[in-house]
Amino acid sequence: MIKWNNIDTVLLDMDGTLLDLNFDNHFWLEFVPRRYAEQNNLSIEQAKRQLIPQFKEMEGKLEWYCLDYWSDVLKLDIAGLKAEISGLISVLPHVMEFLEVLSRSSKQVILVTNAHRASLNLKMGKTCLSPFFDKIISSHDYGVPKETQAFWSQLDNQHTFDKQRTLLIDDSLTVLKSARLYGIQYLISISKPDSQQGKRQIYDFTAIEDFRELMPYLLPVQML
């Protein structure tokens, strides 16, 4: 599947790739509407009818991922609410094994996420994944999301990598398309980013259900 000897840099997304997207889906689609309903004397269904279109409108924009933006718009402490249900944050199956093997290779490993720093810090604190990465990058550091060419250009300028020898693993097809347009050679999607939902059918990119599918290819490289 992947010629690991041809890869020097591995870029890994966080939510839906390393971490179970169930936390974020539950947070935005259930928990936030419930708290918004309580604050504004609405039923949960009324709150959802108000909020879901607002969420949809911001998809793919940096604001969608910005906790400060939503705290201001909704008049809720979004970072505090995330911490309140942080017990739901979990690592997807076989991620730890993959990262442990990858860390014993000579490859540069960078976490690239659209997550706001407050959310990123909360999740890294809960999962203890930080030591596996040479660098941790939030798109908020650059002021543009991964869906844009400007993100990849800034990442490349700050942390030089050979596009022809770089792998990106991400659950977002929009992000993968942006990376492909930028020229990143190796791209893999995640077909089951949310453990509580079914497997997605993905046709535009090579897709894996979990990281066991990459292990047989990586182990011989790690042993070198």
CATH, residue 208:
3.40.50.1000
pLDDT, position 1? 64
Q: How many domains does the chain contain in total?
A: 2
Q: Which of 87, 115, 134 is the last residue of a domain?
A: 87
Looking at the fold, whether 152 and 118 belong to one and the same domain comes out as yes
Average pLDDT, the chain: 94
> Are residues 128 and 172 both part of a single domain?
yes
Give the pTM.
0.94
* Whether residue 223 has pLDDT greater than 50: no
Domain housing 72: 23-87
pLDDT 10s digits, 41-55: 999 999 999 999 999
Are 159 and 135 within 8 A, CB to CB?
A: yes
Residues 164 and 181 in one domain: yes
pLDDT at res. 215: 79
Q: 23, 179 in Cβ contact below 8 A?
A: no
How many CA atoms lie less than 13 Å away from 50 in the CB half-sphere? 15
Mean pLDDT over 101-121 rounds to: 94
Q: What is the mean pLDDT of residues 118-147?
A: 96
Least confident range of 32-41, 165-174, 194-203, 212-221: 212-221
Q: What is the mean pLDDT of residues 84-91?
A: 96
In this prediction, what percent of the chain has a pLDDT beyond 90? 88
187 & 208 share domain:
yes
Does pLDDT of 38 surpass 50? Answer: yes
Specify whether 79 is located in the same domain as 118: no
Q: Are 107 and 175 within one domain? A: yes
The answer to whether residues 130 and 188 belong to one domain is yes
Confidence of residue 216 (pLDDT cuts 50, 70, 90): confident
Same domain for 65 and 112, yes or no, is: no
